[in-house]
C-alpha cells in the first residue's frame, strides 16, 4: 500500500426492506453499491453528492459505525500493519479508534469543552494532565484555554465546530472523517473553519475524508474529489482536473448548480433538475439517465462501468472522453 493509508474496495451497504408481520425481506436499499477509492497519507479526498447518494453511509462504514454488507476497507495502522476494517472483530477495532476520528456537522449534541471522554479513552487518567491537554487542544483550534469551563450553549456555531475539531484531535488521529463539517455555519465562518482544517492538516500530517453536498466547499479543501450518485462513484479525479474538465454530466450539472450571486445565472441551461432515484429501485442502464440531457437509448439499456479516461481521472459515463459536458 506504500503511501496509501486507506484503500476501499467494492464497498457495499444494503439495508433490507421488510414487509408483513414476519418482517419478510422483500428487497434491499443499495445505499452503497461497490465503491472503490484510495486515500493517500496526508491528502484530502472530498466525497460529494446530493442528499441520499450514500456518501454518509459509506463514511459510517469506514468508521465501522455500521457494518458494511460487502467489500474491503484496508487501513495501514500506525505500527505498519494492514487490517481490513470491514471485518475486524470489535476487540481489535477498539485500539484503532484513536487513529480514526470523526468531525460531525453540528457537534452540539456531544459537546463537552473539557473533552474528558476522548482523553479518558486515550488513557489520560490524571485530571491535571487532562486539563493541560485540553488547554493545548483549544489553543490549537484558535480558542482560549479558559473556554473549557464554559457551558456548551455559550459558544457560537463556529466556536462549537472548533471544539468539535479539537475533540477529534484529542486522540492524535491519523485519519479524520469530516461529515458536512461546515454546512451548518454561515459562509464567512465556513471559510475560517476550512482554513483551520487545512492548517491543522499540514501541521499534524492528517489525512482527511471530507464528506459534503456542496462542491464549492469540497473544492476549497480537497486534493481529489469523488462524486457519488445513487450509491455508486460516478467520477473521481484531482480537484483541478475535475473543475477544468468534468467527465460526467452529473458532476458538470452539480458545478452549474453551485450557488452564485446573480440569480439569473442559476436559471441558465443545464441546472440539475428532477429527483434523485431511490436506491431501492434504481433506473435501468445508467442510473443518471432520467436526469441526463445527453442520454441515449444505449444509456437506458446498458450500465456504464467506472473507467479511467485520463491518468487518474475516472468516469462512469459511456461518452466520457468523447464529449464535453
Residues that bind ligand SF4 (CB under 6 A): 248-249, 286, 288-289, 292, 294-295, 299, 304, 317-319
With cell 475516472, the residue in question is 314
Nearer to ligand SF4, 76 or 289 (CB): 289
CB of 275 to ligand SF4, least distance (A): 16
Nearer to ligand SF4, 78 or 298 (CB): 298
Measured CA to CA, the distance from residue 179 to residue 103 in angstroms comes to 6
CB of 303 to ligand SF4, least distance (A): 9
CB of 229 to ligand SF4, least distance (A): 9
CB of 319 to ligand SF4, least distance (A): 5
Nearer to ligand SF4, 167 or 289 (CB): 289
- For residue 60, the tally of other CB atoms under 10 A from its CB is 20
Cell numbers standing for residue 105: 456537522
Measured CA to CA, the distance from residue 232 to residue 229 in angstroms comes to 5
CB of 244 to ligand SF4, least distance (A): 19
CB of 315 to ligand SF4, least distance (A): 8
Please, what is the Cα angle at 172 between 168 and 176, to 5 degrees?
50
Nearer to ligand SF4, 155 or 325 (CB): 325
Nearer to ligand SF4, 9 or 294 (CB): 294
For residues 250 and 227, is the Cβ–Cβ distance under 8 A?
yes
* Burial of 254: CB neighbours in 10 Å, binned 0-12, 13-18, 19+: buried
Q: φ, ψ for residue 121 (rounded to 5)?
A: -60, -35
Phi-psi region of 71 (alpha: psi -120 to 50; beta: other; left: phi over 0): left
Nearer to ligand SF4, 129 or 302 (CB): 302
- For residue 229, the tally of other CB atoms under 10 A from its CB is 27
Amino acid at each position: 500500500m506504500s503511501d496509501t493509508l486507506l484503500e476501499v474496495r467494492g464497498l457495499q451497504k444494503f439495508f433490507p426492506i421488510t414487509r408483513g408481520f414476519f418482517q419478510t425481506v422483500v428487497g434491499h436499499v443499495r445505499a452503497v453499491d461497490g465503491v472503490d477509492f484510495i486515500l493517500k497519507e496526508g491528502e484530502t479526498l472530498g466525497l460529494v453528492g446530493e442528499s441520499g447518494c450514500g456518501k454518509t453511509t459509506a463514511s459510517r462504514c469506514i468508521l465501522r459505525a455500521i457494518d458494511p454488507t460487502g467489500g474491503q476497507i484496508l487501513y495501514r495502522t500506525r505500527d505498519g500493519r494492514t487490517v481490513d476494517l470491514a471485518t475486524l472483530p470489535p476487540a481489535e477495532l477498539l485500539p484503532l479508534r484513536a487513529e480514526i476520528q470523526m468531525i460531525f456537522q453540528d457537534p452540539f449534541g456531544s459537546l463537552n469543552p473539557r473533552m474528558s471522554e476522548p482523553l479518558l479513552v486515550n488513557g489520560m487518567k490524571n485530571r491535571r494532565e487532562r486539563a493541560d491537554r485540553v488547554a493545548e487542544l483549544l489553543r490549537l483550534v484558535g480558542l482560549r484555554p479558559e473556554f473549557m469551563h464554559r457551558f456548551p450553549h455559550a459558544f457560537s456555531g463556529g466556536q462549537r465546530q472548533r471544539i468539535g475539531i479539537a475533540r477529534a484531535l484529542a486522540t492524535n488521529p491519523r485519519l479524520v472523517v469530516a461529515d458536512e463539517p461546515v454546512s451548518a455555519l454561515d459562509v464567512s465562518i465556513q471559510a475560517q473553519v476550512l482554513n483551520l482544517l487545512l492548517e491543522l492538516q499540514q501541521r499534524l500530517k492528517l489525512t482527511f475524508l471530507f464528506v459534503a453536498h456542496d462542491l464549492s466547499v469540497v473544492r476549497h479543501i480537497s486534493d481529489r474529489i469523488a462524486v457519488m450518485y445513487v450509491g455508486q462513484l460516478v467520477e473521481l479525479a484531482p480537484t483541478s482536473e475535475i473543475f477544468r474538465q468534468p467527465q460526467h454530466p452529473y458532476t458538470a450539472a452539480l458545478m452549474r448548480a453551485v450557488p452564485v450571486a446573480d440569480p439569473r445565472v442559476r436559471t441558465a441551461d443545464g441546472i440539475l433538475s428532477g429527483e434523485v432515484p431511490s436506491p431501492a429501485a434504481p433506473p435501468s442502464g445508467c442510473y443518471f439517465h432520467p436526469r441526463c440531457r445527453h442520454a441515449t437509448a444505449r444509456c437506458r439499456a446498458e450500465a456504464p462501468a467506472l473507467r479511467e479516461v485520463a491518468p487518474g481521472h475516472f468516469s462512469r459515463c459511456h461518452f466520457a472522453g468523447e464529449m464535453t459536458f
